[in-house]
Amino acid sequence: MRPRVLAVVGSLQARSSNKALVEAFGGLLRGAIHFVPSGALHVLPPFNSDFESENVPETVLAWRAELAAADAIVFATPEYAFGIAGALKNSLDWVVGSGELVTKPVILIGASTMATGASLALEALERTLRVMSADVIGVLSVPHVRAKIDADGRVTDDATVGSLVDLAEKLIERLTR
């Protein structure tokens, strides 16, 4: 059975640059890895610790099951006000104490129109995931992303493609050894 990689994109926009990067990354895994995009961030309710362990919403239970079923996870986030996307942070708040990310290999991708390439968001995301005991095995920051993705959502920048290839190889090696 092929390892399963869950793709979680923090931007909810249909034409998200982060989504395009994750799709390009997933294309590099085809054959060796079963790549599954998550739609959970579109349906999760705002985090409320009153419902963290009792009367847990069905969408949260489904999110937790999706994470548990994954052998690895690719998270992508834009940078909003120097932090991670709210929908992504909310999704992580629902699993802080439930354990689905403990020792799970994760790749982080962040893209921004600015020269910082979502680096502050990536730092915050990495800190959050490490507190949850996830195993961060690779991080990619993509600055000036609009110049690196065409109108059809294809990554056109050779250096960015090369970085995605490196991350994909690292993940394949981790999951198939």
Residue labelled with tokens 């689905």: 100
Measured between alpha carbons, how far is 159 from 29 in angstroms, rounded to an integer?
18
Q: What is the pLDDT of residues 69-80, one digit of tens each?
A: 999 999 999 998
Please tell me the predicted confidence (pLDDT) of residue 21.
Answer: 96
What number of residues does the chain have? 177
Cα 101 from Cα 70, distance rounded (Å): 10
How confident is the model over 37-43, as a mean pLDDT? 95
Name the residue ranges covered by the structural domains of the chain.
4-49+58-176
**CATH ID of 4-49+58-176, from 3.40.50.360, 3.40.710.10, 3.40.50.300, 3.60.20.10:** 3.40.50.360
C-alpha closest to that of 88 among 109, 115, 105: 109
At residue 123 the predicted structure's pLDDT band, cuts being 50, 70 and 90, is: very high
CA atoms within 13 A on the CB side of 85: 22
- Read off the tokens for 47: 């985090």
